[in-house]
């Protein structure tokens, strides 16, 4: 029989800091208002250092206890990734909210002391990474980089190195390749596809990131986790990954010689000059194809408005004729 681990109460000041950093919200499901508890990541209830503690709701905490069956076990590495991401998100949100509050009260120059007051809590606890996040959120690059370097001198994890260099500073080139490889390997065969997506996006593997975002969003939808699905769909949109997929579609169509799909991709991207250049370069192919839509685009590109209008009318007639044929089939 395994020896029961001795439980030591978490010191009040440590518990308060952990709850503050996570905004008293579960770092996994991130559902506001749910009852939460502080979880020991290594399952040792006497190991009460902040790095070993995370805030979980009772439902997500249950997943850390599952060892088999049909339920998914939430392991220590996953909890760490979720915890780190959520704490960073909260730090950035607090800084941004403070800036917005000051702007609402006074549209003139901002008082740096006021908008960085929350940073004093991080300084007292030597949370240099969160200070870097804080100052990045309010646009203070000098202080951001100061605390990035302090955090990197404080025996950081691969996750922190990756986050500080790639996400905060936008300098993935400064990350040692060994760190990149180890960090990406932590996502292999795990369920946290959205975090994998963020890591790939940070090192500019944008198409791979799009695939992982969609996989993660689909998983959240399947599990009924609407908040996570919406949260990461918004990230997907803000990252302009739809454009990345359209660019990939354009390149694929170019490789396959499919003019139609090249045109459609450029239209969706809104790249009008590139579309015009493509159409004019394919004039001979378009003319011989007899494709009315492409012929209309060619006429527009050549500045022949009357011819383009005539092709549009022809397309309208063709559409009405097709609709009439379909109605006859259904009759």
> Which H or E run includes 101?
helix 76-105
Class of residue 217 by CB neighbours under 10 A (exposed 0-12, middle 13-18, buried 19+):
buried
Residue 216 vs residue 4, higher pLDDT? 216
Q: Is pLDDT of 97 > 80?
A: no
Q: C-alpha distances in angstroms, 181 versus 29, 51, 82, 175, 176?
A: 28, 23, 20, 10, 9
Number of separate domains in the chain: 2
Beta-carbon-side half-sphere exposure of residue 185 (alpha carbons within 13 Å):
7
Residue at 231 is within a domain: no
For the residues 171-196, what does the mean pLDDT come to? 86
How does pLDDT run across 33-63, given as a tens digit for each residue? 899 999 999 888 888 888 899 999 998 888 8
Residue at 302 is within a domain: yes
Distance CA 98, CA 112 (A): 10
- What is this structure's pTM? 0.66
pLDDT at 331: 60
Residue at 188 is within a domain: no
Q: Tokens 């959120």 label which residue?
A: 137
* Parent domain of 326: 246-330
Q: Is pLDDT of 275 > 70?
A: yes
Q: Tokens 């990954």 label which residue?
A: 241
> Which H or E run includes 38?
strand 36-40
Q: Is pLDDT of 180 > 70?
A: yes
pLDDT at 5: 66
Residue at 50 is within a domain: yes
Residue at 166 is within a domain: no
Confidence of residue 114 (pLDDT cuts 50, 70, 90): low
Residue at 217 is within a domain: no
Q: How many CB atoms lie within 10 A of CB 281?
A: 10
Confidence of residue 229 (pLDDT cuts 50, 70, 90): confident
Distance CA 148, CA 277 (A): 45
Residue at 149 is within a domain: no
Q: Which of 74, 93, 122 is the last residue of a domain?
A: 74
Confidence of residue 190 (pLDDT cuts 50, 70, 90): low
Q: Which long-range contacts (CB under 8 A, 24 or more apart) does 56-63 make?
A: 56/26, 56/27, 56/28, 57/26, 57/28, 57/29, 57/31, 58/34, 59/29, 59/34, 60/26, 60/28, 60/29, 61/37, 63/28
Residue at 298 is within a domain: yes
Q: Which of 74, 89, 115 is the last residue of a domain?
A: 74
Q: Which of 74, 90, 111 is the last residue of a domain?
A: 74
pLDDT at 68: 46
């Amino acid at each position: 029989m395994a020896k029961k681990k001795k439980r030591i109460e978490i010191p009040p000041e440590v518990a308060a800091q952990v709850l503050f950093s996570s905004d008293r919200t579960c770092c996994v499901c991130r559902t506001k208002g749910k009852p939460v508890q502080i979880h020991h990541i290594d399952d040792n209830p006497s190991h009460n250092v902040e790095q070993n503690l995370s805030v979980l709701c009772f439902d997500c905490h249950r997943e850390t206890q599952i060892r088999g069956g049909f339920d998914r076990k939430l392991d220590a590495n996953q909890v760490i990734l979720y915890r780190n991401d959520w704490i960073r998100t909260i730090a950035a949100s607090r800084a941004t909210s403070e800036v917005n509050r000051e702007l609402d009260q006074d549209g003139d120059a901002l008082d740096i002391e006021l908008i960085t007051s929350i940073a004093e809590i991080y300084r007292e606890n030597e949370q240099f990474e969160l200070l870097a996040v804080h100052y990045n959120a309010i646009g203070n690059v000098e202080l951001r980089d100061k605390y990035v370097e302090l955090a990197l001198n404080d025996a950081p994890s691969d996750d922190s190195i990756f986050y500080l260099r790639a996400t905060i500073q936008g300098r993935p080139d400064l990350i040692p390749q060994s760190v990149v490889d180890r960090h990406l390997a932590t996502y292999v065969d795990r369920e946290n596809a959205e975090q994998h997506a963020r890591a790939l996006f940070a090192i500019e593997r944008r198409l791979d990131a799009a695939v992982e975002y969609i996989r993660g969003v689909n998983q959240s939808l399947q599990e009924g986790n609407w908040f996570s699905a919406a949260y990461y769909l918004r990230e997907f949109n803000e990252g302009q990954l739809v454009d990345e997929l359209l660019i990939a579609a354009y390149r694929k169509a170019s490789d396959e010689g499919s003019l139609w799909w090249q045109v459609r991709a450029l239209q969706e991207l809104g790249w009008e000059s590139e579309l015009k250049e493509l159409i004019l370069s394919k004039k001979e192919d378009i003319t011989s194809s007899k494709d009315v839509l492409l012929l209309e685009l060619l006429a527009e590109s050549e500045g022949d408005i009357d011819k383009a209008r005539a092709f549009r009318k022809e397309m309208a007639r063709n559409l009405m004729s097709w609709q009439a044929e379909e109605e006859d089939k259904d009759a």
